[in-house]
Chains A and B, each alone.
Chain A
Amino acid sequence: MPTDNMKQAIDYSAMPDERGHFGIYGGRFVSETLMQALDELSDAYHKFSNDSDFLAQFDADLAYYVGRPSPLYHAERLSRETGGAQIFLKREDLNHTGAHKVNNTIGQALLARAMGKNRVIAETGAGQHGVATATVAARFGMECIVYMGAEDIVRQAPNVYRMKLLGAEVVPVSSGSKTLKDALNEAMRDWVTNVDTTFYIIGTVAGPHPYPQMVRDFQSVIGREAREQIQELTGRLPDALVACVGGGSNAIGLFHPFLDDEAVAMYGVEAAGDGLDTGHHAAPLCAGKPGVLHGNRTYLMEDSGGQIIETHSVSAGLDYPGVGPEHSWLKDIGRVNYTAVTDNAALHAFHRLTRIEGIIPALESSHAVAYGVQLAAGMSPEQSVIINLSGRGDKDINTIAKIEGIQL
């Protein structure tokens, strides 16, 4: 474990380096066909992320289209019943389209438009990123293709229909495990083939440089707002932050603006599925090892020969064998604690929040709620914990009903 002195020496804002490395993680591991496109994207992102008109447009869209700032809600009843720290929920579920994903798709769609690309593609797991992409594509009048694992299409039927209503073409992917990773492979193939006309809107803080950095920057609005809001509400910084981690974009979005605040502990919650010891999970940071997949070096779920293994989580949005490279780095340097919550614990938290606060959380976010409540229980009432409620659970009601044997 690094010492406090080592932590102080780290300039978090300087990461990644020019070629997208977070320590040994990140980078750009793609076929040659995409290298030039990624260089162009890096240049465009560098240019527009320093352009005041572009940033003003982004902020205005977040305010008037997404509905930001999202509230930081003091879950008083949940806090009281838990009997520990005060629990605050960052309400990303109240964003337009119902999750944090739209913060990023707005940013990337603005960039696509600025770069003159009128066709956007995306991969999606739970369907939230697909919906968020289809939404901004509709608004900007762009052609939109969404790749989605055939299994996820079944699990997330309402979101598939939403994407179609928004004018997107949803392409089922039947290779491999038929989930998010396979959708990502297929989206990469589309991009390689149509690289001149197409902008690939990646939905998480993974992939080749500059995606992990760019998506983090777009999502950091979550943490910037939360940092101001908690100080307004409590007069001080929080004691802990909790967010679920699949690819890790909502977590990085919340964590990043707090990284320099050493007293703020951070917990990233992966999907333990049936339990870490069963092997049926989606927790590369807790139970995987470093490797290279989808354009970056990061922790992966892989076998001893380097083949990517199939993951399991009740939550489609966490069902991914990799994770954003910045998380891998934050794990290794000890700045963020990574833990995992089982399907059952997440389902329990789903019901608890729904019944106690009248807020139906996404199954992904339910993982964060489960761990956050457990963490708060061991803290004192003067302390505070912010849980990122990254999305709303309407999309999951079919899954929940099925698990519980209820016919809708």
Chain B
Amino acid sequence: MSRLQGCFARLQAEGRKALIPYIMTGDPHPQVTVPLMHAMVKAGANVIELGAPFSDPMADGPVIQAAAERALEFNITLEHVFDAVSAFRRLDDVTPIIMMGYLNLIEVAGYESFARRAAEAGIDGVITVDMPPEEGEGYISALEGAGLDPVFLIAPTSTDQRVAKIGAVASGFVYYVSLKGVTGAANLDVDSVRQQVEMIRGHIDLPIGVGFGISDADTAARVSACSDAVVVGSAIVKRMAAHQKHTPDQIERIIGDVCELLGSMREAMDAVPVDEITRTA
């Protein structure tokens, strides 16, 4: 059983939902990334989405783009992402890590070589924002060959037909983008999310994570009641953006700020009554 499967199976047995924070590797300073990953797990994160910075992040809003720009000031490359994951794995061999980024980084590395090195580092799955299943033949086989899960996005605009097509190639989990728009957009309509998640369940037998527009504990709890996982990105990155310096003090403060938010989300998600979970699951 892969780390991702194990993680979702454990959570299901406990009647809990996955909390998946997103951070950008190297933001706001390379020394923050690994300690922050460990701290987020302690604060209740079940899976970590680790961003690889790209110069032209078309699908991201200003918050994540600024994080990429900060990381690129330190010349963060895929090597640094792999190094951060390897370092994390020395103390944590359980928490799944999903790398999220844009295709050009992987194109340049070469699909096979990328997949092998990512797997060796301890990455479990890969989300490539601008790689739809239609173009994904070589990419998917390279990831699967290395034991990595290709995680795909599903959007409010995805038709039944497209959802089925994605279901045919996705593994690990699928990520429902709960808003039309870029990351960090306005608040979402939980009722429409619920309907879409039900539609997706009709086609795909994988855990369904929901992200985009989840910025507080209350929204996290309501989304968790109708899905299997809640992804939180911009709300975390925004907190990190407030800290530009990287003295040891500041690193503590960044970690404290992020974990406070995650802790409140964890608490709210775990407080959702079990009967509501069973009803909507």
Contact = CB atoms under 8 A, between A and B. Distances in A.
Interface of A: 19, 27-37, 175-176, 181-182, 185, 188-189, 192-196, 290-295, 297, 300, 302, 304-309
Contact of B130 (A290, A295, A309): A295
A302 B180 contact: no
Nearest to A185: B58
Interface string B144-178: 00000000111111110010001000000000010
A33 B104 contact: no
A282 to B, nearest CB: 15
A300 B107 CA distance: 12
Contact of B181 (A30, A193, A304, A308): A193
A195 B157 contact: yes
B87 interface: no
Interface string B261-281: 000000000000000000000
Size range of the chain B interface in the assembly: 35 or more
Contact of B157 (A33, A305, A306): A33
B185 interface: yes
Contact of B55 (A35, A36, A176): A176
B55 A307 contact: yes
Given A185-B58, A307-B72, A35 B157 contact: yes
A302 B108 contact: yes
A31 B58 contact: yes
B130 A29 contact: yes
Given A36-B157, A176-B55, A192-B182, A305 B77 contact: yes
Interface string B120-137: 000000000111101100
A176 B56 contact: yes
B94 interface: no
A31 B281 CA distance: 27
B59 A31 contact: yes
A188 B58 contact: yes
B54 interface: yes
A33 B212 CA distance: 12
A30 B55 contact: no
Contacts of A309: 55
B162 A306 contact: no
Interface of B: 54-59, 61-62, 65, 69, 72, 77-78, 102-109, 129-132, 134-135, 152-159, 162, 166, 177, 180-182, 185
Given A305-B77, A305-B108, A33 B155 contact: yes
A192 B60 CA distance: 10
B130 A292 contact: yes
A291 B104 contact: yes
A302 B104 contact: yes
Contact of B56 (A37, A181, A194, A304): A181
Contacts of A19: 134-135
Contacts of B185: 193
Contact of B154 (A32, A189, A192, A302): A32
Given A29-B135, A185-B58, A192 B108 contact: no
B107 A291 contact: yes
A387 to B, nearest CB: 32
Given A32-B132, A176-B56, A295-B130, A304 B152 contact: no
Contacts of A188: 58-59
30 contacts: A19-B134, A19-B135, A31-B59, A31-B177, A32-B132, A32-B152, A32-B177, A33-B153, A33-B156, A33-B157, A33-B177, A33-B180, A35-B157, A35-B158, A36-B155, A36-B158, A175-B62, A176-B56, A185-B57, A193-B181, A291-B104, A291-B108, A292-B104, A292-B107, A306-B105, A306-B107, A307-B54, A307-B55, A307-B72, A309-B55
Contacts of B181: 33, 189, 192-193
Contacts of A196: 180
Interface hub of A36, A305, A307, A308 (most chain B Cβ within 10 A): A305
A152 B135 CA distance: 34
A337 to B, nearest CB: 26
B104 A300 contact: yes
A174 to B, nearest CB: 10
Contacts of A307: 54-55, 72, 105
A185 B135 contact: no
Contacts of B58: 30-31, 185, 188-189, 294
Given A33-B155, A189-B61, A307-B72, A28 B182 contact: no
Contacts of B130: 29-31, 292, 295
Contacts of A195: 157, 180
Nearest to A175: B65
5 cross-chain pairs, A with B, having the tightest CB-CB distances, nearest first: A306-B108, A33-B155, A193-B181, A31-B59, A306-B105
A29 B180 CA distance: 17
Nearest to A35: B132
Given A32-B155, A308-B56, 19 more contacts: A19-B135, A28-B132, A30-B58, A32-B166, A33-B155, A34-B157, A35-B158, A36-B158, A36-B162, A189-B181, A192-B59, A193-B181, A291-B107, A292-B103, A292-B107, A292-B130, A294-B58, A297-B107, A302-B108
A319 B58 CA distance: 19
Contact of A306 (B61, B104, B135): B104
B55 A308 contact: yes
A29 B78 CA distance: 20
A306 B110 CA distance: 11
A306 B185 CA distance: 27
A36 B153 CA distance: 13
Nearest to B136: A29
A314 to B, nearest CB: 23
B162 A35 contact: yes
A37 B156 CA distance: 12
Nearest to B77: A305
A300 B159 CA distance: 32
A35 B59 CA distance: 13
